[in-house]
Structure 1
Amino acid sequence: MAARNALVLIGGVPAEMPAGDTLNGTSGGGGGANGTATLDFGAFPGTNEASITFASAGIAAGSRVTAAIMGGDTTSDHTASDHRYAAALIGLSCAATAGVGGTIYARSSEKLQGTFAVRWSWS
C-alpha cells in the first residue's frame, strides 16, 4: 500500500494534506511553531470527545492552527497501526488563544478509549 499524507481538516472537511504542504507552518517566513500533544479518551468505556491545550506564547487570535494524527506515531495505548486508522474515526478542530496557545478538539461517532498522539502547528 502506498504511503498517504496526513488527514487534516480543509474548510471543515476531512481530506488528505495536499502534497508539498507541511504541518509546521513556518515555510515562507510566516513564523509560528509546532509540537506534539496527547489526546486522552479515557479508560473503558471511553468517550466520543477529547481535547488538549498546548502552550505557545507567540500565537495571535487570528493564527491558523492545524492538527493531524500521523500514521507512524504511537502511545502507550495505541500502535502505529491504530493511529493510521484513527484518522478515519476522529475529526479534529483547533482554536487559538492569543498569547497562550491553543486547543485541539477531537470528536468521533464511536466511543474511543486510551490516548492518541497528535501533531499541531500554527502560523
Structure 2
Amino acid sequence: MSQPNQTLPGSNDVLGIARNVLRLISNEWALAKEEMSENLRRAGVAIAFLLAGVALSILAMATLLWAGVAALAAAGMPPWLTALILAAALGVLAIGLIAWAMRNLKAKAIAPKCSLNNVQKDLQVLKEVFDG
C-alpha cells in the first residue's frame, strides 16, 4: 500500500510539464494582449491622421477646384465642363485614398501576428513531445 506523501513514478515530470505549459500559455496570452494594445494604439493614431488629412484635403481640394475651374474657364472652356472634369479627377483620387486607409485598418492588419505564430510553434512542440 502506498503512503499518502508518496508520488507515482514520473508524476513530477508530468506536473512539471503541466506547469510549464500553463506558464507558457500565460506568457503567450500576456504577449498577445501587449501586441494587440500596441496595434490598436497605432490604428488610433492612423485614424486621427486620416481624419486630419481628410479635413485638410477637403479645404485644399475645394480651393484647387475653384482655381482650376477659373483657369479653364478663362481659357475658353465652359465653366460647367471644367467643374465636371476636375470633380471627376478628385473623385478618383478620393476613392484611392479611402481604399488604402480601409485596407490598413482591417482586423488582419492589427492582429497579434507574432503571438499567434509563437502559439502555433508552441503547440507544434507540445504535439511532438506528447506524440513522440
The TM-score normalised by the length of structure 1 is 0.17
Query: What TM-score do you get using the length of structure 2 for normalisation?
Result: 0.16
Q: Which has the higher helix share?
A: 2
Compare the two structures and name the one with the higher strand fraction: 1
